[in-house]
Structure 1
Amino acid sequence: MQETLILEPAQPASACVIWLHGLGADRFDFQPVAEALQGVLPGVRFVLPQAPTRPVTLNGGWSMPSWYDILAIQPERALDLDQLEESAGSVLALIENQRASSIAAERIFLAGFSQGGAVVLHAAFRRWAGELGGVLALSTYAPTFDETRQLGAIQQRHPVLCLHGAHDEVVPSALGRRAHDWLAARGVAVTWRSYPMGHEVVNEEIRDIARWLAERLAG
């Protein structure tokens, strides 16, 4: 994946968070959050990839950073599945790069906001067959969670933290909750956190993320 921003910790990295931004944003969007988390999570490398710039049908065909094209809201968020698969494949390549740098797979975490969250959920539970430290799903949904699909034993061990705004008008909270419930029904250790916010990130949410990551890394 091109133009990836990598934030190295002050001490040698022993864990990694691969964090995908949302539609129309860029790799610098979550840099302040990553730097704040590094202040309380020593030894964690943050990898912030950049989505390609391409036309987005839902936004009148205007080109912008996008992990996949959104074709319509109805039927429920119709999207370009080939582009989603391509983006998920790039995430898997980043995982492999971290493993090649001596980061154990169980200490690699995937995080994504909005459209980026949809990609990491797909990558973790539809594409990646190995161990993972866990998944952070921020203000997002899971467009490829098929009700007929089950998970393997390794995928069931991926812990997930779902964080969503109760007043989100871009990705309604009900869509995020649906992803949570799908995972819970398949034996995944998934936690739901709701905040009195819209489609955004707040300090309380960042503190919850720091606590959750610290617990996973300590365990």
Structure 2
Amino acid sequence: MTIDRVLGGPGLLPADGAPARQLVVLLHGYGADGTDLIDLGRFWQALLPAAAFLAPHAPEPLPFEGFGGRQWFALDERTPAEYRIGAEAAQPVLDRFLDDALAEFGLSGSALALFGFSQGAMMAFQCGLRRKVPPAAILAYSGLLPGADRLDGVQRESPVLIVHGEDDDVVASYHASAANDALSGAGMETALHELPGLGHSIDDRGVTLGGRFLQKAFAGQP
């Protein structure tokens, strides 16, 4: 892969060996990096053989010595204001990465899907809802919607999948229904799945839901 000018991170070319017709970008959570999610692309390649997958590293190292993970923005107070301000500050870097990646593959913005886990889900919401060309899909797992009270002006065309474990002890599961209510109230097409017995992670149910959602979102594209 050559898409490393902004953030770096692993990537997968389309399984069918042809030029990419879709691009799925996987945004990791706080303290991880792109390698944490690229296996999702391997799971979904059979369903999306025309898709390239990229899992960029977040732009900032963790502020702790001896920890190699990354962050999209700092988490000190873990308040709604911090989530909104941090996501807004990180958005331009992610937007630049997405623009570069789409240009590299010769794709329009409508061929893009954004997947995010935890803090990455915040970024998928923040960026995906404000792209000039609406993405084909936004998938948010175990995260929350930053700036839920500031949705004026967001695009309303992208379908949104929200998946959250009912037993999540890192990002409480009520954030999933709160995000769903805010987005559906703003006129967006949303699908919410709160999974019993699941903590702050992705299981086979979530992988299956995401693959089917992406298949449907990309259906009918040339």
Normalised by the length of structure 1, the TM-score is 0.87
Q: Cα RMSD over matched residues?
A: 2.2
Q: What do residues 133-175 of structure 1 show as CA deviations (whole Å, max 9, x unaligned)?
A: 110001100122225x4235xx111110000001111001111
Does residue 174 of structure 2 align to residue 174 of structure 1? yes
1:45 is aligned, of 52, 58, 78, to: 52
Counterpart AA for 1:200: S
Does residue 13 of structure 2 align to residue 8 of structure 1? yes
Shift of 1:177: 1.4
Which ranges of structure 2 fall in alignment gaps of 5 or more residues? 1-5
Normalised by the length of structure 2, the TM-score is 0.86
Residues 76 and 89 (structure 1 numbering): CA distance in 2 closer, same or farther, change over 3 Å? closer
Three-state SS of the structure 1 residue aligned to 2:146 is coil
Matched pairs, number: 210
Residues 157 and 47 (structure 1 numbering): CA distance in 2 closer, same or farther, change over 3 Å? same
Q: Distance in 2 between matches of 1:64 and 1:33?
A: 19
1:106 is aligned, of 110, 121, 133, to: 110
8 Å Cα contact 1:68/1:80 also seen in 2: no
Q: What do residues 36-92 of structure 1 show as CA deviations (whole Å, max 9, x unaligned)?
A: 111221011111000120327xxx9x774111111213x4473482x5334221221
Does residue 204 of structure 2 align to residue 208 of structure 1? no
Tell me what 2:31 maps to. 24
Which ranges of structure 1 fall in alignment gaps of 5 or more residues? none
Three-state SS of the structure 1 residue aligned to 2:192 is strand
Three-state SS of the structure 2 residue aligned to 1:137 is strand
Counterpart AA for 1:44: A
Q: Which runs of 4+ in 1 moved over 6 A?
A: none
Percent of aligned positions with the same letter in both sequences?
Answer: 27
